[in-house]
Amino acid sequence: MQTTLTATVCQRFEIAGMTCHHCELAVAAELSELVGVTQVVVDAAAGTAIVECVEPLDRAAVAAAVAEAGYELRPA
């Protein structure tokens, strides 16, 4: 049996307006729908989202997903 390893990229984004676990779930759900995303970890207290994906995400797509959840992507 041959195993193929796929490299992943981790990106960190700062998000404004999150205050609770519900906020984390909403942002994670939207980011998880982006093409190529394999894992999302959102921390409301830190105001961050760590996204693991197969290739770097377009910042505009991330901003749109975060806005759909009701929050704002902070400038890089």
pLDDT-based confidence at residue 76 (cuts at 50, 70, 90)? confident
Look at residue 4 in the predicted model and tell me its pLDDT. 64
Average pLDDT value for residue range 11-19: 98
Element (H, E) at 27: helix 21-32
33-68 confidence digits (pLDDT tens): 999 999 999 999 999 999 999 999 999 999 999 999
Element (H, E) at 14: strand 9-16
Weakest mean pLDDT among 7-11, 25-29, 37-41, 68-72: 7-11
pTM of the model: 0.90
Residue type, 13: F
**Among 43, 39, 40, which residue's Cα sits nearest to residue 6?**
39
